[in-house]
Amino acid sequence: MLNKLIEGYCKLLGLLIAAALAVMVVLVFGNVIMRYGFNSGITVSEELSRWLFVWLTFLGAIVAMKEGAHLGSDTLVSRMPLPIKKLFFVAGHGLMLFVCWLLFKGALDQAIINLETTSAVMEASMAIFYGCGVVTAVSMALILVHNLWRLVSGQLSEAELIGVRESEEEPIDVPAPLK
């Protein structure tokens, strides 16, 4: 149930990322045409593109984390016995949860501080800009807690304990869950 919810959420994020990228391309390309062809421009183009780029980067980090696509090295962990792999998995997830807390606290503080501050061109609250850190921290923390639950409940395979893929083309091999 929760797996399907997370999958659907990541698909929605993928659509939002694609939409943000499309808007960025249209804005930047349109602005170039307007500047060189008509000696004018789209006023919000640069600022909105920058905001969308930050948001799509943070949303992409959520999807990459869920898919195990972030950089990592499995040289040591892959050679360890199963109980040590589990220990490293729990320790790694614990550290990542701590980083999620730091990101959440910092982004929330910045959003609150900048709630009344508006951006120069769009005049939108800067809290929207810093909100991407809050969304990312909460989303990643939920994925991490779900992964820890899957480990405790025996739903996680040994291949998923490593959490790093050799190449982007290879899907994560998901054999039977651990007993």
Per-residue pLDDT, 164: 67
Give the model confidence (pLDDT) of 18-51 as tens digits.
Answer: 999 999 999 999 999 998 888 888 889 999 999 9
Question: Could you list the residue range(s) of the whole structural domain that residue 127 is in?
Answer: 2-162
Per-residue pLDDT, 165: 61
Per-residue pLDDT, 130: 96
* In a domain? residue 14: yes
* In a domain? residue 170: no
- What is the C-alpha separation between 150 and 110, in angstroms, rounded? 33
Q: Where do runs of H (alpha helix) occur along 43-170? A: 45-67, 82-113, 126-152, 158-162
pTM for this model (two decimals): 0.86
* In a domain? residue 131: yes
* In a domain? residue 169: no
- 3-state DSSP assignment of residue 43: coil
* In a domain? residue 167: no
* In a domain? residue 173: no
* In a domain? residue 27: yes
Per-residue pLDDT, 175: 47
Per-residue pLDDT, 166: 59
Per-residue pLDDT, 116: 95
Give me the residues of the chain with pLDDT under 50, please.
173-176, 179
Number of structural domains the chain divides into: 1
* In a domain? residue 168: no
Backbone angles phi, psi at 163, to 5 degrees: 75, 15
Give the model confidence (pLDDT) of 86-102 as tens digits.
Answer: 999 999 999 999 999 99
CA-closest candidate to residue 43, choices 156, 101, 151, 119: 119
